[in-house]
C-alpha cells in the first residue's frame, strides 16, 4: 500500500506547479538561447574550433540567479583565443544579455522563444526585475 502515498505526493507536487509556482529553464535551454543570439548576431560557431561553456566563480554562479556562458573560438592560426562574448540568461524568463556590454537581446525570434518559456515557467517581467539588479545593467541601454 506504499503506492497510494507516492501517488498522493506526486499529485500535490503537480498541483503546486499548476497553481503558479515558478519553475526555471534548464542549462541546456539557456545555452540554446545563447546559440540563437549568436546566430542572430552573425557569429558563426565552427564546431571544430568554437565552444560555449558555462561560467562559474568557484562553486558559485558568475552572476547570482542567472546562467552564465562564455562563447569563444580557438582557431589554430590565431595568436589568441577569439572571445565572442560573455552571456547571461535568466532561468526564469530566458532573457539574454551580453554581460560585458550590458546589452539585452530583443529580436523577434528570441522574444517568441522567451514568451513560450515564460508561460511554461509562470514568469513575469515584474518578478524578474528584482533579479535584474544582480547583473548591474539597466534595461534602458
CATH number for the domain that contains residue 36: 3.10.450.170
124-141: pLDDT as tens digits:
778 888 888 878 886 544
Question: Is 13 a member of any domain?
Answer: no
User: Which tops the pLDDT comparison, 122 or 15?
Assistant: 122
Confidence band for 11, pLDDT divided at 50, 70 and 90: very low
CA proximity to 22, closest of 128, 134, 112, 130: 128
> Domain limits at 73?
24-118
Question: Is 52 a member of any domain?
Answer: yes
53-64: pLDDT as tens digits:
999 888 888 999
Question: Is 38 a member of any domain?
Answer: yes
46-86: pLDDT as tens digits:
778 999 999 988 888 899 999 999 999 998 888 899 999 99
- Decide: 23 and 17 in contact? Cβ < 8 Å: yes
For 24-49, what is the mean pLDDT? 92
If one counts the domains in the chain, the total is 1
**What is the C-alpha end-to-end distance of the chain, expressed in Å?**
59
Question: Is 8 a member of any domain?
Answer: no
How much is the pLDDT for 120? 80
In this structure, is the dihedral angle defined by the CA atoms of residues 132, 44, 108 and 26, taken in order, positive or negative? negative
For 14-24, what is the mean pLDDT? 50
Please tell me the distance from the alpha carbon of residue 95 to that of residue 64, in angstroms, as a whole number. 14
Question: Is 140 a member of any domain?
Answer: no
Query: Is the per-residue pLDDT at 96 higher than 80?
Result: yes
Please tell me the distance from the alpha carbon of residue 104 to that of residue 50, in angstroms, as a whole number. 23
How much is the pLDDT for 85? 96
For 25-31, what is the mean pLDDT? 94
Question: Is 48 a member of any domain?
Answer: yes
How much is the pLDDT for 22? 55
Amino acid at each position: 500500500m506504499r503506492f497510494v502515498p507516492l501517488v498522493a505526493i506526486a499529485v500535490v507536487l503537480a498541483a503546486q506547479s499548476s497553481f503558479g509556482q515558478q519553475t526555471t529553464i534548464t542549462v541546456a535551454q539557456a545555452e540554446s538561447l545563447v546559440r540563437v543570439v549568436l546566430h542572430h548576431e552573425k557569429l558563426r560557431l565552427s564546431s571544430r574550433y568554437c565552444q560555449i561553456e558555462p561560467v562559474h566563480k568557484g562553486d558559485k554562479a558568475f552572476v547570482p540567479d542567472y546562467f552564465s556562458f562564455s562563447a569563444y573560438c580557438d582557431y589554430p592560426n590565431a595568436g589568441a583565443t577569439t572571445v565572442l562574448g560573455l552571456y547571461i540568461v535568466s532561468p526564469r524568463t530566458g532573457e539574454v544579455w551580453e554581460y560585458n556590454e550590458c546589452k539585452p537581446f530583443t529580436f523577434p525570434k528570441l522574444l517568441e522563444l522567451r514568451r513560450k518559456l515564460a508561460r511554461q515557467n509562470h514568469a513575469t517581467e515584474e518578478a524578474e526585475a528584482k533579479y535584474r539588479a544582480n547583473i548591474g545593467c539597466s534595461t534602458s541601454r
